[in-house]
Amino acid sequence: MRFDTKLLHAADPEDPLTGAVNPPIYLSSTYRQSAPNRNRGYVYSRTANPTRTVLEATLAALESGAAGLAFSSGLGALTTLLEAFPRGSRIVSVDDLYGGTWRLFEHHRRQFGVNVEYVAMSDLGAVAEALRRPADLVYVESPTNPLLRIVDLVGVVRLARAAGAVVAVDNTFATPALQRPIESGADIVLHSTTKYLGGHSDILGGALVLRTKRQATKYAWLQNAVGAVPSPFDCFLALRGIRTLGVRMRAHEASAKAVASALARHPKVRRVHYPGLASHPQHRLARRQMAGYGGIVSVEIRGGRPAALRFLKRLKVFTLAESLGGVESLVDHPASMTHASMPRSEREAHGMTDELVRLSCGIEDPADLEDDVRSALRGA
């Protein structure tokens, strides 16, 4: 079954009561039992819910995993993932990553004695050096947020295996439409389903997809114990969004390519970060590893923070807002928005300057998005 078909039919259970084409939204919090511990597979909706079951099976099929688990947010999924790593565990993480992830790692470092080391994972030599010492988890984003760096997943998995570490990959930016890390050897895939999988800026959600049934059993226990689970209605909306993921990702990419090309030619732009450009340092790796380049473009505006803020103010089609991956185009200033929890010194050490702007290119006409960024640059 090809990917676009799988989006609609990967987990396509027939509703036994009506034959409904869409899975019903089961809003019940609890379920009738014929006797203590004798039930139809559902006891309490924190543990399992029929609508969530369909979403989780769909996520597993799309990511080529043994099982999927749905959560109330991407950070809820990450919190549950980290529960498996006790005091003294060592995490080797990509250094350019979402600010909320960095904040949670630092919280676990301070409160629970977890050791975290940040590494420029686009350099396999740096990863190899970090893994000379034992590690429990290697945590990857690819493309990274917000600088769109690409990590060689096969190479990192090989090094992590030799070190005895589990590999988890945040696949939010690429989605399984463009990249399936488990097929490259990763153990765990993480998503913020709020973003491209939901695709309409109307839900919060997260997910873990596990390579093996054994991992799935462990994390299903943690999912129930921690309790950061999504509502049945949000599961239904995530499933609705997933059905159009293929066509949306192609439209997002068409928009991003047009915007990135327009920005790259503009004299007021210092640098464009987009793996679809031949100038991107890991363009060849992205071309080999991914089925496309995605819908996110980051750009450094000449003139520092004041010029970047003028650019943001003059955009008309792009909406200034946090988040990404919705059908509408959004723009974010990482230093003061999504990555504001990171100290300036930490941000700048990894290339996140005050002149950096992140664009989530929607599915509007690409020509209108090009016109919008050009017009805003004139005022910047």
Of 311, 321, 221, nearest in space to 266 by CA: 311
Known catalytic membership, residue 170: yes
**Residue tagged active-site, from 90, 96, 98, 332:** 98
Q: Please tell me the number of Cα atoms within 13 Å of 5 on its side-chain side.
A: 2
8 A C-beta contact, residue 97 and residue 75: no
**Residue tagged active-site, from 96, 170, 234, 354:** 170
Known catalytic membership, residue 293: no
Compute the C-alpha angle 114/118/119, nearest 5°.
140
Known catalytic membership, residue 42: no
Known catalytic membership, residue 358: no
Of 356, 371, 370, 372, nearest in space to 302 by CA: 356
For residue 189, list its beta bridge partners.
169, 209
8 A C-beta contact, residue 133 and residue 90: yes
Strands (E), the chain: 67-71, 90-94, 115-119, 137-141, 166-170, 188-191, 206-210, 269-273, 296-301, 319-320, 330-332, 356-360
DSSP track, 308-343: HHHHHHH-SSSEE-S---SSS-EEE-TTTTTTTTS-
8 A C-beta contact, residue 270 and residue 304: no
The span from the first CA to the last CA of the chain, in angstroms, equals 48
Per-residue CA distances from 123 to 142, 181, 282 (Å): 13, 18, 10
- The tokens describing 29, both together, are 């919090």
**159: which residues sit within 8 A by CB, 6+ positions away?**
124, 127, 128, 131, 138
- Looking at residue 318, its amino acid is F
- The tokens describing 132, both together, are 């000379």
- The tokens describing 130, both together, are 């970090």
**Residue tagged active-site, from 4, 31, 42, 46:** 46
**Residue tagged active-site, from 52, 90, 195, 248:** 195
Query: Which are the catalytic amino acids?
Result: 46, 98, 170, 195
